[in-house]
Amino acid sequence: MPIHTVTVRVPAKVNLQLSVGPRGNDGYHQLVTVFQAISIFDEVTLTKSTDGSGTTISISGDQRHGVPADETNLAMQAAEILSKKYDFNIDAHMEIKKSIPVAGGMAGGSADAAAAIMAIDYLYSLNMTRDQMIEVAAELGSDVPFMLNGGTAIGQGHGDQLTSALSRGTYHWVLALSSLGLSTPAVYGECDRLRAGSEISEPQISDSLMQALLSADSKNVGKLLVNDLQPAACSLRPALRLILDVGQEYGALGAIVSGSGPTVAFLVADEDQGLDLAVALTSSGVVGSVARAYGPVHGAKII
């Protein structure tokens, strides 16, 4: 019997290192970043329809609010690109079940686009190679290629040129979520404003971070977390400074704004410390909601 539906599960990410170089002529900044995929997952289900209605979309799940259910959704743009590239019609309904916070710096929209590429390839037997999927992913956004791969990886260029990184052990995270997202271009713009007039050097991979990941040394990973976008995110959302302080006071191994924010990610020693910190953050009153996760996990995967 021909297959008419497929579900792809795709993780969120945090950046363990996000070093931002100068802005290039294309408006993008040269990056060196270390991604880790973590265990908060969206699910994208694609079901063929027979009524010739084209590609339709609906959004469900506890993080659905604010996600566009139209052609501006990055997953719908993935469908558009693939349908043009391979010259076929996608008559199908796409349901995105969201658990990854929206506009939170955890690549939720990019994750859904990666999942859509994989779902369309499978349902329409495009037999795309991994490299072909990565190429389409990079057209959609700087974080999309990593969401196909998952695990731990170094991203260069716009963040889309990936090499996998050797990492041992499991890392436990507590995430302080904000109900109001931050716009990625606005955070990069604020970063430029704050650094105007200073010499911006070429970003370099942190060898000490790579070494700590290789030795499963979560204490050192915690100390070495770095995000050049953090001052900009905190400048646009001053409450983030307070959240970072609260987590550090409660003994987190490290605290960092995730990507362009406003999610704040705390690295903790184990699940027990994660639970304690989650309770402490919730009762502090400075955090809207809290999630727990571990990484690294696999990238987009058919389930």
Min CB(274)–ligand C5P separation in Å? 29
Q: Quick check: is 143 catalytic?
A: yes
The residue (of 15 and 273) whose beta carbon lies closer to ligand C5P is: 15
The Cα angle at residue 221 between residues 217 and 223, in degrees rounded to 5: 120
Stretch that binds ligand C5P, among 7-15, 126-134, 138-146, 267-275 (CB under 6 A): 138-146
Nearest-angstrom CA–CA distance, 219 and 252: 9
Question: Are the C-beta atoms of residues 297 and 38 closer than 8 Å to each other?
Answer: yes
DSSP annotation of 203: P
Stretch that binds ligand C5P, among 64-72, 184-192, 251-259, 295-303 (CB under 6 A): 184-192
Q: Does 17 bind ligand C5P (CB under 6 A)?
A: no
Min CB(279)–ligand C5P separation in Å? 34
Stretch that binds ligand C5P, among 25-33, 56-64, 173-181, 240-248 (CB under 6 A): 25-33
Nearest-angstrom CA–CA distance, 163 and 37: 14
Question: Are the C-beta atoms of residues 103 and 142 closer than 8 Å to each other?
Answer: no
Q: What tokens appear for 186 in the block?
A: 């606005």
Nearest-angstrom CA–CA distance, 254 and 251: 8
140-179 binders of ligand C5P (CB under 6 A): 141-143, 158-159
The residue (of 15 and 55) whose beta carbon lies closer to ligand C5P is: 15
Q: Does 273 bind ligand C5P (CB under 6 A)?
A: no
The residue (of 259 and 274) whose beta carbon lies closer to ligand C5P is: 259
Nearest-angstrom CA–CA distance, 213 and 293: 17
Residue from 13, 98, 112, 160 carrying the catalytic annotation:
13
Nearest-angstrom CA–CA distance, 89 and 118: 16
Question: Is omega for the bond preceding 101 within 30 degrees of 0, making it cis?
Answer: no
Q: Quick check: is 131 catalytic?
A: no
Residue from 121, 143, 160, 228 carrying the catalytic annotation:
143
Q: Does 29 bind ligand C5P (CB under 6 A)?
A: yes
Stretch that binds ligand C5P, among 24-32, 86-94, 163-171, 231-239 (CB under 6 A): 24-32
Among 70, 72, 125, 185, contact with ligand C5P (rule: CB under 6 A): 185
Nearest-angstrom CA–CA distance, 69 and 292: 27
Q: How many other CB atoms are found less than 10 A from the CB of residue 224?
A: 19
Min CB(196)–ligand C5P separation in Å? 15
SS3 assignment for 238-271 = CHHHHHHHHHHHCCCCEEEECCCCCCEEEEECCH
Min CB(28)–ligand C5P separation in Å? 4
Q: Which residues in this chain contact ligand C5P in the complex, by CB under 6 A?
A: 28-29, 31, 141-143, 158-159, 184-185, 188
